[in-house]
């Protein structure tokens, strides 16, 4: 701990689903706020990373809430670092692996009626930009111009806020 900051560690969703959900919703809100703050400061790659993290946290929270729907697709078990065997749907909700995000978004979109799939694609594009930056050739990043990045960061961050309002979970306000 430094300077009075508090470290909060989330319980895994198989131990405390509601606590995990609340924590991830709060994380989504704060990460989206940071994305917009970083954007104001011209820190585009950091802003893109925060927008991606906000979206990932939001999907994780919704995944816990709709675990049964995800369990239809994600079958089997995974072993955690501490050796615990958990259902794959719980593992996905806890860690939200990037490679599963589109499948999760599709299933959650069906379960909730929220527009998640296309926004997940945007978030993944921002994640790619965070690591690769602008690329006028279009080979390493989908973004040849910064105005496109700015627009997508705002779109993802604002979608996080809107969905938090829609599900009645705008925590901390």
Q: How far apart are CA 154 and CA 31, in angstroms?
A: 12
Supply the DSSP symbol for 141: -
Q: How far apart are CA 52 and CA 153, in angstroms?
A: 8
**Tens digit of each residue's pLDDT, the chain (173 residues):** 455 565 566 778 888 889 999 999 999 999 999 999 999 999 999 999 999 999 999 999 999 999 999 999 999 998 888 888 999 999 999 999 999 999 999 999 999 999 999 999 999 999 999 999 998 887 877 899 999 999 999 999 999 999 999 887 664 44
Domain contains 172: no
Domain contains 12: no
Asked if 57 and 48 count as a contact pair (C-beta separation under 8 A), the reply is no
Q: What is the pLDDT of residue 138?
A: 77
Backbone angles phi, psi at 85, to 5 degrees: -95, 125
130: domain CATH number is 1.20.120.330
| Containing structural domain, residue 95 | 17-166
Q: What is the pLDDT of residue 1?
A: 42
Q: How far apart are CA 72 and CA 68, in angstroms?
A: 7
Question: 151: which residues sit within 8 A by CB, 6+ positions away?
Answer: none
**What residue has token string 């400061």?**
41
């Amino acid at each position: 701990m430094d300077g009075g900051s508090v470290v909060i560690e989330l319980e895994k969703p198989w131990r405390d689903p509601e606590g995990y959900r609340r924590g991830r919703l709060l994380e989504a809100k704060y990460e989206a706020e940071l994305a917009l703050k970083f954007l104001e400061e011209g820190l585009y790659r950091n802003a893109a990373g925060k927008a991606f993290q906000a979206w990932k946290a939001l999907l994780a929270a919704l995944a816990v809430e709709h675990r049964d729907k995800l369990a239809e697709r994600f079958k089997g078990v995974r072993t955690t670092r501490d050796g615990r065997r958990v259902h794959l749907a719980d593992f996905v909700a806890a860690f939200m692996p990037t490679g599963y995000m589109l499948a999760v978004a599709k299933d959650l979109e069906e379960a909730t009626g929220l527009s998640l799939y296309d926004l997940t694609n945007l978030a993944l594009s921002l994640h790619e930009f965070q690591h690769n930056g602008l690329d006028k050739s279009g080979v390493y990043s989908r973004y040849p111009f910064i105005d496109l990045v700015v627009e997508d960061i705002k779109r993802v961050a604002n979608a996080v806020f809107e969905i938090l309002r829609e599900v009645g979970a705008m925590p901390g306000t």
